[in-house]
Amino acid sequence: MTTILESLNRGLRTCLEESDRVYVIGEDVLDPYGGAFKVTRGLSTDYPEHVITTPVSEAGIVGVGVGMALRGLFPVIEIMFGDFISLTVDQLINHAAKFRWMSNDQVRVPLVVRTPMGGRRGYGPTHSQSLEKHLLGAPGLRVVAATALGDAGELLRKAVLEDEDPVLFLEHKVLYAKPIIAHDELSDFEVDVSDDPYPTYRLRIAGAPTPVITLTAYGYSAELAREAVKRLAYEHEIFSDLIVPTHLSPFELSDLFSAVRQTKRLLTVEEGTMTLGWGAEVIARALEELGAGLHAQRVAAGDMPIPAAGLLETAVLPQVEDIIEAAVALSEAN
């Protein structure tokens, strides 16, 4: 069994092995500490020249990464908590994402910024958020989200070694300890994987009747959605399919559209706040693509900061029960 954490660690190790242009950079990334979430553990011991610890200067280190990338290196910057991505936004939007385009394609910025988003750990308002919605759709910035359905380390390797554009690579704190799910272990599901560099996964209950609802979710939310799909089938006899993208921005929705074309019912699930979020854009695009007759609903975090107390946090973040409830309601819409 490989956890997502081990997979990511292995992915970084592979990058360092395969290219001497790779530099892993971040706060507290050196051994023996090995990073706040231990994704970089062991790397500085084996690649001391290529793993660089930094001051607590998120904007500065992402800017340094932009400069390194512009000059031909493959920097991988760790931002310790996804919440701190706000400190780097100028570097991401005005520098990393712009230079290639505004130079009329004269330069490339092969930068990767990795960060753990997400709550459910009791870390409170500034260490639990899923802030990616603020960066989705920023022209020139790719956003990729790791999932338990595939090899997160390989996804990261592609971003580092094969993508010549800047990538914001999203991890989820709760996913770290989860095992990567081998598809043959998903005995309840049939799984299709698109052949995109950053694939989309399509799951449906094995041997079930035609789905009547399409769910879509990424990252850890996809795990909740997968649980909901199972319980909807076994407890409610509502059959659904689940589309899990890893390529969030630019929006890569063709697999979703083909599923929704059949079901005409779309439920989006995300851990970010609901208003003006990922689900809103996905539904708008589905509506434009498929026209009238689409029924849609969103499950997302409440539009408020994430509280620290466990009971309160659970109330604000989407749970499996919320997804089931929304799906049942949506199945009855006409």
**Least spacing, CB of residue 122 vs another protein, in Å:** 30
Surface-to-core class of residue 316, CB atoms within 10 Å of its CB (0-12 exposed, 13-18 middle, 19+ buried):
middle
Does 44 contact another protein by CB under 8 A? no
The Cα–Cα gap between 87 and 59 comes to 6
| Residue 39: partners with Cβ closer than 8 Å, 6 or more residues away | 5, 8, 9, 12, 78, 114, 171, 176
249 binds another protein (CB under 8 A): yes
By the rule CB under 8 A, 251 interacts with another protein: yes
Cβ within 8 Å of residue 258, ≥6 positions away: none
91 binds another protein (CB under 8 A): yes
Asked if 107 interacts with another protein (CB under 8 A), we say yes
* Cβ at position 280, least distance to another protein in Å: 15
Alpha helices in the chain (DSSP H): 4-18, 43-46, 58-70, 89-90, 99-102, 152-157, 219-236, 254-263, 278-290, 310-316, 320-332
Which 118-157 residues touch another protein, going by CB under 8 A?
Answer: 137-140, 142
Looking at beta carbons only, is 218 or 239 nearer to another protein?
218
Q: Is there binding between residue 254 and another protein (CB under 8 A)?
A: no
Q: How far is the CB of 133 from another protein (least distance, A)?
A: 14
Q: Is 334 in the site for another protein (CB under 8 A)?
A: no
Cα(43)–Cα(11) distance, integer angstroms? 11
Q: What is the distance between the alpha carbons of residues 38 and 320, in angstroms, rounded to a whole number?
A: 28
Decide if residue 92 touches another protein (CB under 8 A): no
Residue 70 C-beta: closest distance to another protein, Å: 7
User: What is the phi/psi pair of residue 134, to 5°?
Assistant: -70, -15
Q: Write out the two tokens for 75.
A: 């920097």
3-state DSSP call for residue 268? strand
| Contact mark string toward another protein, 272..291, x via CB under 8 A | --------------------
Phi-psi region at 96: left, alpha or beta (left = phi > 0; alpha = psi -120 to 50): alpha
Q: Which of 102, 177, 276, 284 binds another protein (CB under 8 A)?
A: 102
Q: Which of residues 147-206 bind another protein (CB under 8 A)?
A: 165
Say whether residue 104 binds another protein (CB under 8 A).
yes
Site for another protein in 51-90 (CB under 8 A): 54-55, 57, 59-73, 75, 90
- Assess 16 for contact with another protein (CB under 8 A): no
Binding residue for another protein, selected from 15, 76, 97, 274, defined by CB under 8 A: 97
